[in-house]
Amino acid sequence: MKSLILGTAALALTAGIAMADTVRLGTEGAYPPYNFLNDDGQVDGFERELGDELCKRAELDCEWVTNDWDSIIPNLLSGNYDTIIAGMSITAERKEVVNFTTGYTRPSPSAYAAMSADVDVNSAVVAAQASTIQAAHVASTGATLVEFPTPDETVAAVKAGEVDAVMADKDFLIPIVGETEMEFVADDVLLGDGIGMAFRKSDDELRGKFDVAIESMKADGSLNALLEKWEIEGQF
C-alpha cells in the first residue's frame, strides 16, 4: 500500500525498546478498510482484527496507538510505539531504515479515480496522500502531483475540481467510487512488495514473534478469511 519517501537524517534514530511488557501497535486510524476509528473512537478495521489475533498467537499483551501518517516512521524510531501496522507497503527504500515482517498481503492494486472518464492520468493534475507509493508513482509520470496529508483530502480535491484525479489503493477507492459520481480511469498499477509490519532494526526478536504468527495464519487459512471479510485483495 503506502510507501514513505525517506530523506531526513532524523530517520536514522534508533530506540532499543525490545520486548516491553506491553507491545504498542502504531497505526494511522484513517485508512479504511485497513484501519480506521469507529463510532466509539476505537481503532477498527482489518488491521485491528489482524493485530489482535497476531498478539494472541504470539502470547503478547498489546495496546493500540494512533499516529499521523507523515510521522509514523520517525515516531516508531523514537520509541513512541514498538511496531507499525498501518497498511504500510514493503519497499527497498523503507528497508534502509526499518525491518519488516513477512507480508500479510500480496501486492494489491493501486488505482486512479476521477469525475470524468476522459482524464489522461499521465498528463493530468493528480492527487495522492503525501509520502505514499502512489505519490511517488505519480511523480514518476508526466502528471502534476498534488499531495495531501490525508486520503480523505485527496478525494475531496477531486470532487471540488481542484485536481483531475486521485491515485490511491484500490481497496480504499472502491466504496468511494460506488457511492459517488467518481469512476475508475486508466489501468490498475501494482506497487510495492505487499504489506507488512515495520520494526526498529534493534527489535528483531520481537519482529520474529510476529513473523511466526503471520505464517501460522497463512497456514491455517485465517489470514485469507480476514482479507475476504474486509474485501481486501492480495490473498495468499
| Amino acid of residue 48 | R
Fold classified for 21-104+191-228: D-Maltodextrin-Binding Protein; domain 2 (3.40.190)
- Please say if the pLDDT value at position 80 is more than 50: yes
HSE, side-chain direction, 13 A CA sphere, residue 187: 3
Round the average pLDDT of the chain to a whole number and report it.
Answer: 91
Instruction: Give 138-189 pLDDT, tens digit per residue.
Output: 999 999 999 999 999 999 999 999 999 999 999 999 999 999 999 999 999 9
CATH 3.40.190.10 segments of the chain = 21-104+191-228, 107-188
Within the chain, strands assigned E span 22-27, 30-31, 35-37, 43-44, 61-66, 83-84, 99-100, 109-114, 125-129, 144-148, 165-169, 183-190, 198-199
Within 8 A by CB and 6+ apart from 233, the residues are 105, 106, 108, 109, 170, 171, 227
Mean pLDDT of 27-53: 97
Mean pLDDT of 85-103: 95
Q: What class, spelled out in words, does domain 107-188 have in CATH?
A: alpha beta
Q: How confident is the model at residue 133 (pLDDT cuts 50, 70, 90)?
A: very high
